[in-house]
Homo-oligomer: A and B are copies of this chain.
Amino acid sequence: MTVMNDRSKTVQLEDIARELGISKTTVSRAISGKGRVSSDTREKVFECMRRMNYSPNMMAKSFSEKRTYNIGVVIPSDDIDTETPFFQTCLMGISKCCAPRGYDTLVIGAERGDLSHLKRIIGSRKADGIIITRPMQNGLTEQLLTESEIPYVTVGRSSEYGAVTIDSAHKEGCFELTSYLLMNNKPSKLGLILGSMEQSVNRSRYEGFVKAVESAGGLIPTKTIFLGVNGEMQLRRVIEDLLQRECGCVICGDDMICMYVINMLGAVGKVIPRDIRVASLYNSMYLDMYSPPITALSFRASDLGATAASLLLDMLEGKQTSQETMLGFEMLIRGSTM
């Protein structure tokens, strides 16, 4: 007694072959497009595939091909960064690029440089390639990946470790924004507040700022430049200092700094932009919705992710890719600097 109703659950390659009276091999070839198949049979196969609603068992396919059709995305899972929309937006950009190309996106958490999760993924061969969304200082992740001979792309830093990278034009953006503010300067001192200078992004920003001031023939306002600012307390002192020096316009390194600045200014009764103008070198929706909306540089995290994914998939398919890709920015001139 043969039981066949179990077959009905999941149609597989062999079912199509049997239906068409041809071999599995031919069906496989028709679908993958790899071997030579007469266009006649190919059509039949496709028709039958659709009719029987076939979709390949990826586990078997992966196993056989030795590729998972997964790409892993290393994301900081520290409490702080977990709230930062950048990584999520970037991740969705990656996913949106991968899905139509038949790849899926695997989340790899990395808490404070802990690479154990990534190591497990590598060991178990569950991803064909990796995207690093926040390259760390030490380059340990890059090193690990290089040793494991796994293709990878980093988002947001120049290729210090020979990695393929994709970055935003922070320096150029900061240059443009600073230049704009200098031009429209109802003459007053310009302030700059940046976070940790160990992050290359802040170094780029600083370079852009300096270049803009010099291009405008001005002097670098060293007294009102604050680098490596970290935490509410420091920020509070910085604000006080800026106000005392009658700084008329302050450029904030990112949206978090900017939020603090806005709140602190409000708390001491300063009105934006009447008393002081404010701009941010990194936009976020909270800066959008503020009234007045805050002048800011807008970088599209989603595009960064999508581009990184696109590059990585190209690499996996053996295509040659450029070592370093730079994405542009948008300058949103809004009420806070009018």
A270 to B55, CA, bound (A): 61
A143 within 8 A of B: no
Q: How many copies does the complex hold?
A: 2
Say whether A308 faces chain B, with CB atoms less than 8 Å apart: no
Q: Does A134 contact B (CB under 8 A)?
A: no
Complex CA distance for A59 and B58, rounded to whole angstroms? 10
Whether A279 is near chain B, meaning CB under 8 Å from some CB there, is no
Q: When A55-B123, A263-B289, A302-B82 are in contact, do A106 and B104 touch as well, CB less than 8 Å? A: yes
- Main SS of chain A's interface residues? helix
Residue of B83, B266, B291 touching A89 (CB-CB under 8 A): B83
Report how far A56 CA is from B87 CA in the complex, Å. 30
A56: chain B residues at CB < 8 Å are: 124
User: Is A26 interfacial (CB 8 A cutoff)?
Assistant: no
Structural contact, A264 and B285, CB atoms closer than 8 A: no
A285 & B124 in contact (Cβ 8 Å cutoff): no
Q: Is the CB of B83 within 8 A of A104?
A: no
In the complex, are the beta carbons of A59 and B125 less than 8 A apart? yes
Task: Tell me the complex Cα distance, A107–B73, Å.
Answer: 10
Binds B, one of A91-99, A165-173, A192-200: A91-99
Pair A121/B104 contact, Cβ less than 8 Å: yes
A260 at the interface (CB under 8 A from B): yes
Which of B84, B85, B92, B263 is close to A290, meaning CB atoms less than 8 Å apart?
B263
Q: Are A267 and B291 in contact (CB under 8 A)?
A: yes
Q: Closest CB-CB distance, A12 to chain B, in whole Å? A: 11
9 A-B contacts (beta carbon < 8 Å) = A55-B124, A59-B125, A73-B107, A77-B96, A104-B121, A106-B107, A259-B290, A263-B290, A286-B286
